[in-house]
Amino acid sequence: MRKIRLARWCAFWMAAFLAVEQTTTQAVGESLFAQQMQPPPPITTTAQSPASAPASQSPLANAGQTPSSQLANLETKVRPSVIWVTTFDSKGNVLRTESGFFISADGRFVTTEHAVEGAVNAVAKTGDGGIYNVSGILAASKALGLAVLQADVKPRKLLRFLDLNKAGDLSTGASVTVVGSALAGNEGAARETIINAESSDRLEMAAATPASSVGSPVVNENGEVVGVIISAAEKTIARPIAAVDSVLSAVAADTQPHWPQLAEASPTPPPHATPKPRLIYAPAPSFPPGQSLSGQSGTGRFLLTFDARGNVTNIQIVKSTGNPYFDQAAVKTLRQWKSAPSQGWQATVPVTFRTR
């Protein structure tokens, strides 16, 4: 009887043990299965964490690039208004070339007084190839070293010019930029600098600038003119905007551009005397693009009419070159010719285009 009871107890504990083992195995199996069915861990974050280091540095990198991009944008904004001013003496010889910049849509521009000293004629050249005859000086100050001139601009709406900063809020330590002409190559590139010293009529820059920068504008971060370079090289000196305003204040509404040197040098001719016509600016026409095929040539004659101020007022094709592109190129360049003042005259000019 005791053996039967003992057998039953053993059977009971064996069943209980199997039940517990089965339950444990099932629970473990379900736990592993559940783990396999869950979404994978965020390995992307782990895998990208080395790459995320440069991303965390990108604000610094961008900060380092910002001044460079701002300088490039400023140069793009200002440079089309910066010009080269070439002046001529009474014999048609080049006196000098300095920088300048347009300040109005009607062709007014600022340059140095030295640039026009002794001149009887000038041309203003833009970086995009534009050439404008300069009709004369509107105002000049030898003491300040500045001059305001008038260029013949048509149509006016296409001319790019700079605004003058009237606030005059510059101080020592202020950051400014000097922008030269595109015709000066790398020397005309925008250059950031600091104002070392300033007074009512003088700004001294920290950085040296090329000699070709004389006459260039000094601008603020908005591209507004705050000064004009009057002396370059190792020590850069500029006149502040107040000096420019002082010269501009001498230009009245009825002021006509003129060349004082020409008026002083040219005595009044006696009655019935006709001044001998003389060309003082006569560039040769350029070969038109796309027309430089070997063996292409053409010769034409063009009748130019000059007014009393020496400007070309009309061009008549007496004989065509036989190529309309040659004719157009010739007319475009001949329209820029300039003569010394006279009573008005005409001249027939032969022009030949020839490829070698």
Please list the pLDDT of the chain residue by residue as tens digits (356 residues): 444 454 454 444 444 444 444 433 333 333 333 333 344 444 333 333 333 333 333 333 344 445 688 899 999 999 999 999 999 988 788 899 999 999 999 999 999 999 999 999 999 999 988 889 999 999 999 999 999 999 998 776 678 999 999 876 778 889 999 999 999 988 889 999 999 998 888 999 888 889 999 999 999 999 999 999 999 877 899 999 999 999 999 999 889 999 986 555 555 555 555 556 788 888 888 888 776 666 678 889 999 999 988 899 999 999 998 888 899 999 999 999 998 888 889 889 999 888 76
Cα-flanking dihedrals φ and ψ of residue 61, to 5°?
-65, -45
The closest alpha carbon to 218, from 171, 259, 164, 167, belongs to: 164
Cα-flanking dihedrals φ and ψ of residue 300, to 5°?
-135, 170
How high is the pLDDT of residue 181? 93
Q: Using CA atoms, how far apart are residues 294 and 300, in angstroms rounded to an integer?
A: 19
Task: Look up the CATH architecture of domain 175-243.
Answer: Beta Barrel (2.40)
**Sheet architecture: strand order including 312-319:** 312-319, 297-306, 345-354
Q: Using CA atoms, how far apart are residues 257 and 109, in angstroms rounded to an integer?
A: 12
Asked whether the beta carbons of 275 and 339 are under 8 A apart, the reply is no
All CATH 2.40.10.10 domain ranges in the chain, comma separated: 175-243
All CATH 3.30.2420.10 domain ranges in the chain, comma separated: 269-354
Q: Residue 342: how many CB atoms within 10 A of its CB?
A: 17
The closest alpha carbon to 178, from 197, 204, 156, belongs to: 204
- Paired residues of 149 in beta bridges: 109, 137
Domain 269-354: which topology? TolA/TonB C-terminal domain (3.30.2420)
Alpha carbons within 13 A on the beta-carbon side of 115: 34
Specify the 3-state DSSP secondary structure of 94: strand
Q: Using CA atoms, how far apart are residues 26 and 20, in angstroms rounded to an integer?
A: 10
**Residue 89 C-alpha from the chain's centroid:** 29
Specify the 3-state DSSP secondary structure of 61: helix
DSSP annotation string for 142-153:
TTTTEEEEEE--
Asked whether the beta carbons of 140 and 168 are under 8 A apart, the reply is no
Asked whether the beta carbons of 150 and 107 are under 8 A apart, the reply is yes
